[in-house]
Amino acid sequence: MVNRGSPHMNPAAITTLVDQWRPETHSFHLRTDKMTVTLQDMSMILALPIQGDPLCINTGSDGWRERMCVLTGGKCPSDTINSKGEKLRVTTGATFKWIEQNFSTCPENASEDEIIIYACVYVWYVITKTIFADGEGNMAHWHWLKALTVMDKNGAGVRRH
């Protein structure tokens, strides 16, 4: 699934919406009227239920690299080398390239815990590549993975740490 890439996006439509967004009112100011995206809109677009308690987590960054290693089953993102041969420290998460290299295919004989890890990493990849993309579009921030791992299937409790 990761190899499929992100869905096709219409750059002109996205640019237009960005130009029309007003952060002070959290709405789009269009020619016809003001419009905002509601929780119900997101529920329909993402096919996610909105019943239950909200997800609240601490997004503090102390020791994030160690916590990410635990959340990804011991696979840890390393520093990367840029085109000039310089070492770049990964400071906020994992690159999409690292996720693709390490989690593109779940092993056939994977345990239930491994399957859960691969599923969480895949959802992490999708939401950070499409919904919560960073400014450069090449990084999955660790706190979204953390959010995925504190939910159980009912959204009610801690799954594992």
pTM (2 d.p.)? 0.57
Please give the structure tokens belonging to residue 56. Answer: 């609240």
SS3 of residue 8 by DSSP: coil
- Comparing CA positions, the residue from 119, 125, 117, 161 lying closest to residue 144 is 125
Please give the structure tokens belonging to residue 31. Answer: 């020619």
- 57-91 pLDDT tens trace: 776 767 777 778 888 888 887 655 556 766 666 56
User: What was the pLDDT predicted at 59?
Assistant: 67
**Residues 134-157, mean pLDDT to the nearest whole number:** 68
**Residues 90-97, mean pLDDT to the nearest whole number:** 78
What's the rounded Cα separation, in Å, for the pair 110 and 66?
23
What's the rounded Cα separation, in Å, for the pair 6 and 58?
28
User: What was the pLDDT predicted at 111?
Assistant: 92
* Higher pLDDT pick, 95 / 160: 95
On the question of pLDDT at 159 being above 50, the answer is no
User: What was the pLDDT predicted at 83?
Assistant: 62
Q: Which strands sit side by side in the sheet containing 34-35, from one edge to the other? A: 21-22, 27-29, 34-35
Count, in order, helices (H) and strands (E) of the chain. Answer: 6, 7
Q: DSSP string spanning 62-124?
A: TTHHHHHHHHTTT-----EE-TTS-EE---SEEEHHHHHHHHSS--TT--HHHHHHHHHHHHH
User: What was the pLDDT predicted at 98?
Assistant: 87
What's the rounded Cα separation, in Å, for the pair 7 and 125?
12
On the question of pLDDT at 56 being above 90, the answer is no
Task: Give the residue carrying structure tokens 């041969």.
Answer: 85
SS3 of residue 57 by DSSP: coil
SS3 of residue 140 by DSSP: strand
User: What was the pLDDT predicted at 89?
Assistant: 61
- 98-145 pLDDT tens trace: 899 889 899 999 999 899 889 888 888 888 888 777 777 788 888 887
